[in-house]
Amino acid sequence: MEQFEVITRGDRSMPELLRSPTQFRFSIIGENQCSLASYNRRDYYKISLVLKGRSRLLYAHRGIDIPAPALVFTNPLIPYSWESGDESPAGFFCIFSDTFLHTGGRTENLQESPLFKVGGEPIYLLSPNQADYLKSIFERMKLEADGDYVFKYDIIRNQLSIIIHEAIKMQPALAYFTPANASERIAQLFLNLLEKQFPVDSPDKMLPLKRAGDYAAQLSVHVNHLNAAVQEVTGKSTTMHINERLLAEAKSLLTHTEWSVGEIAFSLGFEYASYFNNFFKKHSGVTPLTFRKSL
């Protein structure tokens, strides 16, 4: 299975995959140790067609058992864990960026799609006929992905759109349960979601999640519930974790880039550079410029 180019601090460049038109990958589950949890990057949406085996998808506040065959949609900014049962799952999955679909003229935001949005319904149990039909589409996507036709990604975009619209016509699975150790799960998923925002790789793009309430909304839990779970499990408040990670990233950007303080402030979610200056000095004892000059 192909691996993504690593983002390095030296040039702060975007991965080649994101710069190219081929913002799409296809894999057979189990092939070369590719699992359902593979490609859990912040940049990529994932559609999985599970044809064999039982598994369990767990979010912060709910979980669901998935008997095959099933079609599952996962969002890069909604953390989850996917656990296999006694029988290893078999099937296909593909990952793709929002930009990949927009290149084909698609205008709607995937974050707002009922298949991918927070609190949406991402799991669809399939009849044998539905499973066979979707299997044929995934197999055609693989053939196109492996081929050298110059317009193959246009065909793949159309096939992805067919899968998405077929799911929208279906009834989602609704047999959710409340996972055990809810506080531990919520705290861990919060920490995963926090870390997934980094490293910051562009001075022109602001962090989407900046406050405890942003994370609570993304995890689909009440902010008080999130704060209590994180405090109970880690001994630190949600805000403290966010501030510590922002400070670490700010120091890294000041050290390894030539971005201005204003650019760093914006990329880390501060509306004004003065707010960032106050934050940095409060938590480090010096201003950002003083820190940079001391290096």
- The predicted pLDDT at position 128 comes to 92
CA 86 vs. chain centroid, Å, equals 27
Residue 63's CB: how many other CB atoms inside 10 A? Answer: 19
Task: Give the separation between CA 22 and CA 201, rounded to whole angstroms.
Answer: 20
The residue type found at 80 is Y
Instruction: Average the pLDDT over each of 5-9, 113-117, 180-184 and give the range with the smallest value.
Output: 5-9
Residue 6 pLDDT > 70:
no
**Residue 43: other Cβ atoms inside 10 A:** 19
Of the candidates 15, 16, 77, the residue with the CA atom closest to the CA atom of residue 44: 77
Strand partners, 24: 96
Nearest alpha carbon to residue 139 among 95, 87, 89, 94: 94
Residue 221, Cβ neighbours under 10 Å: how many?
21
User: Higher confidence at residue 119 or residue 36?
Assistant: 119
pLDDT exceeds cutoff 80 at 113: no
pLDDT tens per residue, range 215-229: 998 887 889 989 999
The average pLDDT across 200-207 equals 90
Tokens coding 275: 């707010």
- Ramachandran class of 27: left when φ > 0, alpha when ψ lies in -120 to 50, beta otherwise: beta
pLDDT band at 8 (very low <50, low <70, confident <90, very high): very low
Checking 4-12 for CB contacts under 8 A at 24+ apart, the result is 4/41, 7/199, 7/201, 9/199, 9/252, 9/256, 9/257, 10/256, 12/201, 12/202, 12/256, 12/257
The mean per-residue pLDDT over the stretch 45-62 comes to 85
Specify the pLDDT at position 179. Answer: 66
* Higher-scoring residue by pLDDT: 41, 174: 174
pLDDT of residue 226: 92
The stretch 192-207 carries a mean pLDDT of: 89
* pLDDT on residue 37: 54
Q: From CA 207, how far away is CA 37, in angstroms rounded?
A: 24
What is the reported pLDDT for 19? Answer: 36
Q: What is the pLDDT of residue 12?
A: 34
- φ, ψ of residue 213 in degrees (nearest 5): -65, -35
Q: Is the pTM of this model over 0.85?
A: no
**CB within 8 Å of 237: residues ≥ 6 apart:** 227, 230, 231
Calpha distance 36→283 (Å, rounded):
40
Scan for tokens 């975007």, then name that residue. 14
The pairs formed by 13-22 with CB atoms below 8 angstroms and a separation of 24 or more are: 13/201, 14/201, 14/202, 18/43, 18/97, 18/99, 21/100, 21/103, 21/153, 22/153
Reference 88, options 128, 55, 58, 64; nearest CA is 55
Flag whether pLDDT at 84 surpasses 90. no
Share above pLDDT 70 across residues of the chain, in percent, rounded to a whole number: 81
pLDDT in tens, 238-279: 999 999 999 999 999 999 999 999 999 999 999 899 999 999
Q: Are residues 57 and 120 in contact, defined by beta-carbon separation less than 8 angstroms?
A: no
- Residue 53 tokens read as 């085996």
- How large a percentage of the chain has pLDDT more than 90? 41
Cα separation, 224 vs 73, whole angstroms: 28
